[in-house]
Copies of this chain bind each other. A is one copy, B any other.
């Protein structure tokens, strides 16, 4: 499982883990029923404390995306795909709304904002077409 953690980010590490797993499940990079790496294993891979991974896993379990299997690890639920797509939509729409609201509220002309959005859209979709990074 490929996760990119930025310790210096404003977003807490345990939330980065949560949302990146949610996004990968939504993108079907990880399929329903898959067994995720154990807390200690993922912690070692991400150079992060096991407690931090445990907190992320607990939150995902609370939302019905993960289910604990003692002695084996944490597995994805059957509803994981559906729920993750819902969460992805919720997160993205909320963040778009924040930026747009903030930008217009700051007196920025809507045309300029739309131009910037188009710019970023083409920039990142160009990268997506070729490879991931």
Q: Mark A108-123, 1 if CB is under 8 A from B, else 0.
A: 1010011011011101
Cβ of A125: which chain B residues have Cβ within 8 Å of it? Answer: 104, 110
Contact in complex: A96, B108 (CB < 8 Å): no
A10 on the B face (CB < 8 A): yes
Residue of B nearest to A107 (CB): B27
Could you tell me if B107 and A103 are in contact, using CB atoms closer than 8 angstroms? no
**Interface-located stretch among A37-45, A59-67, A71-79, A87-95:** A87-95
Q: Is the CB of A28 within 8 A of B100?
A: no
Decide if A120 touches B92 in the complex (CB within 8 Å): no
Residues of chain A touching chain B, judged by Cβ–Cβ distance below 8 Å, are 10-11, 23-24, 26-29, 88-89, 92-93, 95-108, 110, 113-114, 116-117, 119-121, 123-125, 128, 132
Give 19 A-B contacts (CB < 8 Å), ordered by A residue: A23-B106, A24-B106, A26-B106, A27-B106, A27-B107, A27-B108, A88-B108, A92-B102, A92-B106, A95-B95, A96-B116, A96-B120, A100-B121, A100-B124, A101-B120, A104-B124, A104-B125, A110-B121, A110-B125
